[in-house]
Amino acid sequence: MSADESAVDDAPRSSMDDVIDCYKKNVDRTLLREALALTPGQRLQKLVDLLRAADALREAGTRAFR
């Protein structure tokens, strides 16, 4: 294994892991389970659709409150 490859080896548990554990309590796992049922391509298509919808909403809001 090269030095480069060893850079991605398992690291020992650090204090940051405790911080991440605290944040993990707020993760909505039902959404993750839904996403895991899809293919990677379907997941990205959902992302693209969501971003398009958000942009359309932002533009509509800008026009409405101009």
Partner 1 sequence: MTDFERLLRALGAGGVEFVVIGGLAANAHGAIRTTRDLDIVYARTAENHTRLARALAPLHPYLRGAPAGLPFRLDEPTLQAGLNFTLTTSAGELDLLGEVAGGGTYQALIPHSRRLDLLGTTCWCVDLDTLIRLKQAAGRPKDFEALAELVALREERDRPEP
Given the rule CB under 8 A, which residues bind partner 1? Answer: 2, 4-5, 7-8, 11, 14, 16, 19-21, 23-24, 26-29, 31-33, 35-36, 38, 40-41, 43-45, 47-48, 50-52, 54-55
d(CA 32, CA 54): 20
Minimum CB separation of residue 66 from partner 1 in Å reads 20
Cα-flanking dihedrals φ and ψ of residue 26, to 5°? -95, 0
Q: Are 25 and 18 in contact (CB under 8 A)?
A: no
Minimum CB separation of residue 12 from partner 1 in Å reads 11
